[in-house]
Each structure stands twice: as structure tokens, then as C-alpha cells.
Amino acid sequence: MLAQELKGKISKLWDKFWAGGLANPLTAIEQISYLIFMKRLEDLDNLEVKRSEARKEKYISVFEGNEDCRWSHWKHFNADEMIVHVRDKVFPFLKNIKKGEDGEFSKQMQDAIFLIPKPSLLQEAVSIIDELNITARNQDTQGDIYEFLLSELNQAGKAGQFRTPRHIIRMMVELLNPQLGEKICDPACGTAGFLINAYQYLLKMNTSSDLIKFDNEGVAYNLIGDKIVDKQHWNLLRRQTLYGFDFDPTMVRIASMNMILHGVEHPNIKRFDTLSKGFEHKADYDVILANPPFTGSIDASDINNNFKVGTTKTELLFLELFYNLLSIGGRCAVIVPNGVLFGSSNAHIKVRQLLLEKCQMEAVISMPSGVFKPYSGVGTAILIFTKGGKTSNVWFYDMKSDGFSLDDKRDIVDGKGDIPDIVERFKNRQSGENSIIVSFDDIKNNDYNLSISRYKEVKHEDVVYQKPELIIEGVLKKEKEIANELKSLHDGLTRGLKKGLKDGL
């Protein structure tokens, strides 16, 4: 949880960009990200130098031959000198940084453009970022600073994209319970929120309980992973565990920088339209976590040949994609619009049949429509399934609250809502006030419908009515009481009036 002072500085940074002509939130966050990354690059390089000295190992600085690209070198330049130096020297250097196992980051940066238009805006932004003193912050706070910046992306993007609330992501990660050594993927990763939270969950599971701390919203931090003592396991976690894909080049760059700033030094984020013919459907992942675009359709001529459902609707294609990408025994948690649960088209039914008959459909969690406000008021649900086998029963939960108000303001209520109950009941698939268990046969007989309203028993309470003669008797009694009260009031007014006349008023 960021202190109010830090939030104030970040908000000030946003205000400067808005006033400076960069009013598009996505453009602003991308340009701010470049500056923060420039700052952090020197910090990380200095840290590697110290680590190498301690290990008596040789380390080649990323700034070798480009010492004038260090943040500390140019941050005190005057405004006119700074913008020329950053635009013509530092930014081209940044675009060619070899991050990732195959230099993927530099590939992503090739189309990046430096768009800060005014020398004064760049100088003010550099000053504010310097005031944030990111270097002195722990890894959690560094990540939180970036997350708070991303929270300003409060406008829905193209094709139904919008940012998933972090408490919903944390719940989904906890329900899937990823383990160290499993390959985790988000084929529509956006800013990499699912991947980062999966990384933090793995750290939490491998951090001694006495070291873990919690902020006032109950979110764990100080996740140092002290139980991971093998260097190969650290390399596995940071290099071969987390994989993300997105078709938007700006999102890919932001996701990569976001992961690096959260401690994943070699992010496996690649630009791909995972529904198109150019993407390989390889059953290679143990865990998939996603909130793919809800609306829109893809050009039929560009749809990957591996799809068998026969539709251009992206929300259905993504579900078949996730099935194709999972290894046998692999698990998926995905957010879908409610229409996927009960749609009557052949494609809707075929997708649900696939997930129920060739997978074990573990759970359907219906969420209230306000969860994605102010972006969207669409009703959504979380599907959780395991590839392989066949479904015998499905656990349904009707979430009433996620811990925040369900209007556009999304004010905190208790920050939890039904989430603790969902996590606890999911472990043993327990039924309760908001949860039920439905057999596969019942679902199959209802065209594989996955809407809880189809199966939830509606309670009817018998209402006992009085006999008509008793009702009439009661009405007459009440009328008599009212008449007596009116007579008493009339008599009192009359006496008062007579007394007043007698006294000469």
C-alpha cells in the first residue's frame, strides 16, 4: 500500500503529462514507463556490479561504451539539453537493450517512439521521478509505484480490453494454486497483471511465514522467497516460468517493463495475435490465467486452423485456445462474459461441451455486474477447469460482493466481500448459502448451460392470509378508532373556541 505522499507525487506526474498535451492515458503511461525504466536500469546495473564483486565474478555493464546514458549523468541537464540528449542518445540506447533470453525486449522496443513534446515537461517529469526515490524502495514498493501508475488506465481499450481488478486476480491465482516448476501463461496478457500476481504468489509460498507482512488491505508483501536456496530454481522462476502474449505492441512493452520492475529480469512477453494463423497451438503450459477481450470478432480468413468450434467470436475462440495450450492435467482460470454461460448458438454449446466432456469443469463463479466498473457494467463469471478426464459435478458460486461498492466509484466496503468464503469453500467444493453443486447429467440435459440461475433453487415462502371476515372486522375497528379520535379533536377545538369568545378574544 503506497503512502499518500508517494501517491501525491505520482498524481502530480500524471497532471504534468495531461497539461503537457499527452492526455491519452495509454500514451502517457508508456512515456512515463520509459523514464522510470531509464532510472531503474542504472539502479539494477549498479546492483549487479555489487553482486558480481561479492561473488568475484566478471560483469559487463549494460552501459559499457554508453556511460552518458546513465540517469545520474543527464538528470541535471537544463531542459533544452536534456530533451535533445534523451531523445537522440538515451532513448535509442534503451531500444537496443538486450533483455530476455533471446533479446525479445529490444525487438519489442524497435517500434517505440519518444513522444514527450516539451523540454519543460521532460525536466519536470525527471525531477518528480527522482523525488520518488525508487532506488531506496523495496521491491514491493517499486512494483506498487508502477501498479499505481497503471491504475490510471481507467478507460476501456479496443475490443473490450480493460484492466482486471487486482483483488480478483489474486483470488483466481489462489484458486489455481500454481507451484514452482510449472509453466504459467496468459495468452492475452495486457499489462501482465496475472503473471506478476502468479510470480508474487510463488514467492509467498516460498517465503517463511514469519517474514511475510500484510498491508491494511490484507495484501502480502516482503515476499523474498528465502526458501528458494538453489540458484537453478531462481533461474527457473525468473526465466522459464512466466509467459505472456498480446497483439498490442504498446501493451507488450508496458508488460515487459512492468515485469522487470517487479523483479522478473527476463520477461517472456511476446507480441502475437494468439487467435491468428501465425500462433502455434502447443500444449505446453501447466497453468493459464486470463481475462481475454470480451467483444469483437476476428477475420475468418485469419483464424488459426486448429480451431474447430466454427465461430469468429473471440470470447469463444479464446476458450478453445486455452484448452489447446494446456498440457494434460493443466489448469485454467478465465473470466468470461455471462453470455458464454448460456448462449444458445451451436458455437456456444460446442465450447461448453468441450470444457465439460474433455475437461473437468471445477467451478463457475458468477460475479456481480459492477465488478468491472467504471470500465464496463457487463456481467461476468470465472470458469475454472482442468484439461483431461470428464466432469462429474460442477461447483457453482453466486458472488454477491467483492468487497467494494458496485457503482462507478468502487469505494472500499471491506475489501473482501465473498472472496474468503469462495476460497475456503472451493477447497472442498462445499455447498452453502451462495454455492451449489450440480451434476454433469443435469447440465448436459440443459444444453450444457453453465448459468447458476438455471439450477439454483428458488425459495418460495408460504404466506398465511387472514380470513376475509377478520380483515373486515379489523378495518371497521380501525375506522371506529379514527372516528373517535376525530370527535375528540373536534370537541376540544369547539371548547377552546367557546372559551376564547367568552374571554373576549
Query: How far, in Å, CA of 306 to CA of 435, rounded?
Result: 36
Grid coordinates belonging to 178 = 500454481
**How much of the chain, in percent, has pLDDT values that exceed 70?**
86
Angle between helices 139-150 and 25-55 (to 10 degrees): 170
Cell of 322: 486455452
- Of 114, 132, 108, nearest in space to 2 by CA: 132
Give the model's pLDDT for residue 226: 87
User: How far is it, in rounded angstroms, from Cα 30 to Cα 92?
Assistant: 16
pLDDT digits (tens, 9 = 90+) for 320-344: 999 999 999 999 999 999 999 999 9
Residue found by looking up cell 459492477 in the block = 370
pLDDT band at 352; cut points 50, 70, 90: very high
Is residue 227 left, alpha or beta, with left meaning phi > 0 and alpha meaning psi from -120 to 50? Answer: alpha
- Could you tell me the end-to-end alpha-carbon distance of the chain, in angstroms, rounded to an integer? 75
Nearest to 145 by CA among 240, 347, 331, 10: 10
Between 499 and 294, where is the model more confident? 294
Q: What are 211-230's pLDDT values in tens digits? A: 888 876 677 878 888 898 88
Asked whether residue 96 carries a pLDDT value surpassing 90, the answer given is no
pLDDT at 156 over 60: no
The DSSP output letter for 69 is: G
Q: State the chain's mean pLDDT as an integer.
A: 85
Strand partners, 303: 276
CATH superfamily, domain at 159-188+274-454: Vaccinia Virus protein VP39 (3.40.50.150)
User: What are the Cα distances from residue 302, in Å, to 273, 297, 309, 324?
Assistant: 10, 11, 15, 18
Q: Burial, 109: exposed, middle or buried (Cβ in 10 Å; 0-12, 13-18, 19+)?
A: buried
- More confident position, 462 or 335: 335
The residue assigned the cell 525487438 is 107
Domain 4-149 has CATH 1.20.1260.30: yes
Q: What is residue 72's three-state secondary structure?
A: helix
- Does the pTM surpass 0.75? The reply is yes
pLDDT at 123: 94
Distance CA 31, CA 113 (A): 9
The H-or-E segment that residue 186 falls in is strand 184-186
* Cβ-contact 121, 17 below 8 angstroms: yes
**372 alpha carbon, distance to own chain's centre:** 10
The arithmetic mean of pLDDT across residues 475-501, rounded, is: 73
Q: Using a pLDDT cut of 90, give the percent of the chain over it.
A: 46
Residue showing cell 531523445? 87
149 pLDDT higher than 80: no
pLDDT band at residue 393, thresholds of 50, 70 and 90?
Answer: very high
The phi-psi region of residue 415 (left if phi > 0; otherwise alpha if psi is between -120 and 50; otherwise beta) is left
Crossing angle for the helix pair 346-357 and 314-325, to the nearest 10 degrees: 20
How much is the pLDDT for 230? 86
Helix (H, G, I), strand (E, B) or coil at 269: strand
Residue-range domain boundaries for the chain: 4-149, 159-188+274-454, 463-505
Which segment of 49-63, 288-302, 361-375, 431-445 scores lowest on mean pLDDT? 49-63
Q: Which pairs with CB-CB distance under 8 Å and at least 24 residues apart come from 166-170?
A: 166/193, 166/197, 167/217, 167/402, 167/403, 167/415, 167/419, 168/335, 168/367, 168/371, 168/402, 169/193, 169/194, 169/197, 169/289, 170/197, 170/201, 170/219
